Amino acid sequence: MSETIMVAGGAGYIGSHMVHQLLKTGYDVVIVDNLSTGHRQAVNPQARFYEGDTRDIQFLKQVFAQEPIQAIIHMDAFSIVPESVGDPLKYFDNNVIGMIKLLEIMQQYDVKYLIFSSTAATFGQPQQSPITEQTPQQPINPYGVSKLMMEQMMHWVDQAYGIKSVALRYFNAAGALADGSIGEDHNPETHLIPIILKTAMGQQDTLKIYGNDYQTPDGTNVRDYVHVTDLAQAHILALKYLQAGNPSTAFNLGSNQGFSVQEIIQAARKVTQKAIPAEIAPRRGGDPDILIADSSRAKSILGWQPQYTDIQAIIKTAWTWKQKHPQGYQS
């Protein structure tokens, strides 16, 4: 019988790709999502879906009483850097309390494995580039702080109750399933690539570049973009790693390449063959200059082999999704 995996946040952007990858690999999947940022249309019909909030322990008990869950993939945190700067309590409430309740239910139902969506934002303004797992974690925004707190909780529940976990620190998740059937749809959208593609579609006139006075070659922020299906695959490898009896740990997941905002716009112009007007705007707050991953540890220990190594190929998948769903899931 196939193993049952719960994906918290399985109706979200990364969650929906995770569910797809698990089903394709032969797992049985339970989705828990309160649809606050996820979409009912993104819920995979081959998974069993429970609509509810992970902060609600009674709701979680109902799910765990019915489902033989063997591991949890936790992807239901809020994740927008500028939003967290404006409303930190929203982030501490949803992210930190949600994690406490999930760990409580894992303890009660003796679920031993947790794979967690952590983030490059836990590193803050790193002194070192590329960023390794040894780079000190000193977040500079409430989102990054909330995720670091979640990582720290995971460490202590392993010590106390033997709940084994892997924190996967994503750099900038991007792209969509190659067939364009699922993809990124946030409301409001704050992420660079979807906003660029909105501009390419003529849904907004101009793209705002938030600051060109950062300590980078062209003055705009440098980020490391990693394809969402490559991220999903890393979770399956991380689960196998824990199930093989290995200790709890963390891995950085990126492409080991940095692109400035200007370079991403250029790449998108090539992919879309559209002009994509852009203008310089003030900084938006909470943005570190450069975030580039050293993912060699994930490659050597997990055997992770990202399939998307070219930024234009990543943007192309997001463009396919956008053309098929100009208004996101409402299309």
Residue numbers annotated as active site: 143
Q: Report the half-sphere exposure of 248 (CA within 13 A, side-chain side).
A: 21
Total site size for ligand UFG, rule CB under 6 A: 22
In contact, 65 and 116? CB cutoff 8 Å: no
In contact, 220 and 214? CB cutoff 8 Å: yes
Q: Give per-residue burial for 58-68: e unless 16+ CB within 10 Å, then b.
A: ebbeebbeebe
Minimum CB distance to ligand UFG, residue 123 (Å): 9
Q: In angstroms, rounded to a whole number, what is the distance separating the alpha carbons of residues 262 and 264?
A: 5
Residues 270-309 contacting ligand UFG, CB under 6 A: 284, 287, 291
Q: In angstroms, rounded to a whole number, what is the distance separating the alpha carbons of residues 250 and 223?
A: 20
Q: Judged by CB under 6 A, does residue 209 bind ligand UFG?
A: yes
Q: Judged by CB under 6 A, does residue 252 bind ligand UFG?
A: no
Cis peptide bond prior to 188, omega within 30° of 0: yes
Q: Judged by CB under 6 A, does residue 90 bind ligand UFG?
A: no
In contact, 74 and 116? CB cutoff 8 Å: yes
Question: What is the distance between the terminal CA atoms of the chain, rounded to a whole angstrom?
Answer: 37
Q: Judged by CB under 6 A, does residue 148 bind ligand UFG?
A: no
In contact, 151 and 118? CB cutoff 8 Å: yes
Q: Which of residues 209 and 298 has its CB atom nearest to ligand UFG in the complex?
A: 209
| Binding span for ligand UFG by CB under 6 A among 16-24, 36-44, 117-125, 178-186 | 117-125
Report the chain's C-alpha Rg in angstroms: 19
The token duo for 235 is 């979770």
Q: In angstroms, rounded to a whole number, what is the distance separating the alpha carbons of residues 33 and 87?
A: 22
E strand intervals along 35-179: 48-51, 69-74, 113-119, 164-170, 172-174
Q: Which of 145, 261, 292, 311 binds ligand UFG (CB under 6 A)?
A: 261
Q: Judged by CB under 6 A, does residue 195 bind ligand UFG?
A: yes
Q: Judged by CB under 6 A, does residue 172 bind ligand UFG?
A: yes
Minimum CB distance to ligand UFG, residue 303 (Å): 23
In contact, 175 and 314? CB cutoff 8 Å: yes
Q: Which of 48, 101, 191, 274 binds ligand UFG (CB under 6 A)?
A: 191
Q: Which of residues 145 and 166 has its CB atom nearest to ligand UFG in the complex?
A: 145
Q: Which of 70, 107, 190, 243 binds ligand UFG (CB under 6 A)?
A: 190
Q: Judged by CB under 6 A, does residue 146 bind ligand UFG?
A: no
Q: Judged by CB under 6 A, does residue 221 bind ligand UFG?
A: yes
Q: Judged by CB under 6 A, does residue 79 bind ligand UFG?
A: yes
Q: In angstroms, rounded to a whole number, what is the distance separating the alpha carbons of residues 298 and 256?
A: 12
Q: Which of 48, 101, 208, 299 binds ligand UFG (CB under 6 A)?
A: 208
Q: Which of 17, 20, 164, 223 binds ligand UFG (CB under 6 A)?
A: 223
Q: Which of residues 61 and 186 has its CB atom nearest to ligand UFG in the complex?
A: 186
Question: Which residues of this protein are in contact with ligand UFG, per CB under 6 A?
Answer: 79-81, 119-121, 171-172, 190-192, 195, 207-210, 221, 223, 261, 284, 287, 291
